[in-house]
């Protein structure tokens, strides 16, 4: 089941997102050791209760990072 976030259509399996509060970056290739999220987990597959491991901002507070 997928979670709807603001830029959902632009979030791919390797898309990184940045917390708009503390600039923490969620990188799918690294996962999230704080939440015991295994590497390779897309942002859209994070549990619904996942929040920023740094400042507890919800997924809605994350912005898509562009590589270009
Ligand atoms: Zn944060």
Distance CA 2, CA 26 (A): 17
Tell me how far the alpha carbon of residue 21 lies from the centroid of ligand 1, in angstroms. 5
What share of the chain has pLDDT > 90, as a percent? 81
Could you read off the pLDDT of 23-42 as tens digits, one per residue? 999 999 999 999 999 999 99
Tell me how far the alpha carbon of residue 57 lies from the centroid of ligand 1, in angstroms. 5
pLDDT at 1: 46
The SS3 call for residue 8 is helix
Tell me how far the alpha carbon of residue 51 lies from the centroid of ligand 1, in angstroms. 8
Provide the whole-model pTM: 0.83
What's the average model confidence in pLDDT over 47-57? 97
* pLDDT beyond 90 at 3: no
* pLDDT beyond 90 at 68: no
């Amino acid at each position: 089941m997928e979670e709807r976030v603001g830029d959902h259509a632009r979030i791919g399996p390797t898309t990184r997102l940045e917390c708009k509060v503390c600039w923490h970056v969620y990188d799918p290739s690294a996962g999230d050791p704080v939440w015991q999220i295994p590497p390779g987990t897309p942002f859209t597959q994070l549990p619904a209760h996942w929040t920023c491991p740094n400042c507890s901002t919800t997924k809605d507070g994350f912005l898509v990072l562009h590589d270009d």
